[in-house]
Amino acid sequence: MGINLSHPGCLKITELTGSTATQKVFSCKLVGVGSVPVIITDGNKNSLYTGNLTIPLAAQPQVTMNTSLGNIVIELNPAKAPITVDNFLNYVESGFYVNKIFHRVIKNFMIQGGGFTADLSQPATQAPIKLEAGNGLSNLRGTIAMARTSVFDSATSQFFINAVDNKSFDAVDGYAAFGKVLSGLDVVDKIQAVPTTTRSGLNDVPVNNILINTMLQTK
């Protein structure tokens, strides 16, 4: 009949080889921490098990961003920003961030990327997400947040890393922080210090492209 597993703390639940008729083994990408409900049903949607699984804070997902100036390791916080983390990891998993650039760099403010290629074209993105600003995570130096337009629920793929404390972004109508830099803050500082220009109608574009070569979930 088959077995179906529902777990909102996981992305892309996959049954692993080695499962048997009496024991199933699954893997997933974690996007939740704390006590998370687990529901198991059979192929006819009959309930087989309902309970909670506690995922420790130490299991928070991490992403390694390889840039042309070095690596930045980012720890995500799905407990505070579940929609935003889910969205970000979907882009990471799909390979969307490969060969993108930091297209907006302002010294002593922030570095923004994840939406443009080196020729400043913009690939199609997923649907915009609900704004999760005011979630208790402050836009302090080294935190990552989603960029958006003047429309609150408009964030797609673009993100920025705060180069300084930007606490004015913390209001419910501000910008949703969803993680922090664990290592590579020196790379952030290298990026924020590069010379910029105006190109294709965009301000604060680095004179020499700062590439995001790859972005992979490493935990």
The string of pLDDT tens digits covering residues 164-205 is 999 999 999 999 999 999 999 999 999 999 999 999 999 999
What's residue 32's pLDDT? Answer: 62
What is this structure's pTM? Answer: 0.80
Question: What DSSP line would sit under the chain, residue for residue?
Answer: --EEEE-TTEEEEEEPTT--SS---EEEEE---EEEEEEEEETT--EEEEEEEEEPGGG--EEEEEETTEEEEEEE-TTT-HHHHHHHHHHHHHTTTTTEEEEEEETTTEEEESS--TT---------B----SSS----TTEEEE---SSTT-B-S-EEEESS--GGG-STTS--EEEEEEE-HHHHHHHHTS-EEEETTEEEEESS--EEEEEEE--
Q: Specify the domain boundaries for CATH 2.40.100.10 within the chain.
A: 60-217
Does the pLDDT of residue 57 top 60, yes or no?
no
pLDDT at 5: 72
Which is higher by pLDDT, 107 or 45? Answer: 107
Q: What CATH architecture does domain 60-217 belong to?
A: Beta Barrel (2.40)
Average pLDDT over the chain, rounded to whole? 90
99 φ, ψ (degrees, to nearest 5): 60, 35
What's the mean pLDDT in 62-81?
96
pLDDT greater than 90 at residue 137: yes
